[in-house]
Homo-oligomer: A and B are copies of this chain.
Amino acid sequence: MEMKKTGRVVTFSPGVSVLSYAAVGGRQEGEGPLGSHFDEIDNDSFLGCQTWEQAESELQHRALEAALQKGGMTAEDVDAVLTGDLLNQCVGGSFALRNEPLAVAGLYSACATMGEGLALSAMLIAGGALKRSAVMASSHFCAAERQYRMPLPYGSQRSPTAQWTATAAGCCLLGREGDGPYLTHAILGRIVDMGITDATNMGAAMAPAAIDTLTALFCSTGTKPQDYDLIVTGDLGKIGRDIVADLMGRDGFLLDDRYTDCGLLLYDRKRQDMHAGGSGAGCSASVLCAYLLEGMGAGRWKRLIFAPTGALLSPTTTFQKESIPAVCHAVVFSAQR
Decide: A325 and B98 in contact? CB cutoff 8 A.
yes
B190 touches A100 (CB 8 A): yes
Q: A54 vs B314: C-alpha distance in the bound complex, in angstroms?
A: 12
Q: Are A188 and B116 in contact, CB atoms less than 8 angstroms apart?
A: no
Taking a contact as CB atoms closer than 8 A, the residue among B5, B94, B119 that contacts A191 in the complex is B94
Complex copy number for this chain: 2
Complex contacts, A124 vs chain B, CB 8 Å: 120, 123-124, 127, 129
Q: In the complex, which residues 6-56 of chain A have their Cβ closer than 8 Å to any Cβ of chain B?
A: 8, 10, 50-51, 53-54
Which of the four size classes fits the interface of chain A?
A: 35 or more
Binds B, one of A107-115, A160-168, A231-239, A283-291: A107-115
**A86: chain B residues within 8 A (beta carbon):** 89
User: Using an 8 Å CB-CB cutoff, how does the interface string of A301-337 with B read, 1 for contact, 0 for none?
Assistant: 0000000000011111100101001010000000000
A108 touches B127 (CB 8 A): no
Q: Are A108 and B110 in contact (CB under 8 A)?
A: no
Decide: B104 and A189 in contact? CB cutoff 8 A.
Answer: yes
Contact, CB under 8 Å: A89 / B110: yes
- Contacts A53-B317, A95-B322, A95-B325 known; A108 to B89 CB distance under 8 Å? yes
0/1 interface trace, chain A 79-108, chain B, CB 8 Å (1 if under): 110001011111100110111111111111
User: Binding site of A, secondary structure by majority: helix, strand, loop or mixed?
Assistant: mixed
Nearest chain B CB to A100 CB, angstrom units:
7
A266 lies within 8 A of chain B by Cβ: no
Contact, CB under 8 Å: B53 / A320: yes
Closest to A147 in B: B316
* Contacts A106-B107, A108-B106, A127-B129; A190 near B94 (Cβ below 8 A): no
A-B contact pairs, 12 of them (CB 8 A): A3-B128, A10-B129, A54-B320, A84-B106, A87-B314, A95-B312, A95-B317, A98-B192, A104-B190, A105-B120, A120-B124, A126-B127
Q: Which residues of A does B touch, CB under 8 Å?
A: 3, 5, 8, 10, 50-51, 53-54, 79-80, 84, 86-91, 94-95, 97-110, 116, 119-120, 123-124, 126-131, 147, 187-193, 312-317, 320, 322, 325, 327
New A-B pairs, 9, CB < 8 Å, besides A51-B320, A126-B128: A53-B320, A89-B110, A90-B312, A97-B191, A99-B192, A106-B108, A123-B129, A126-B129, A147-B316
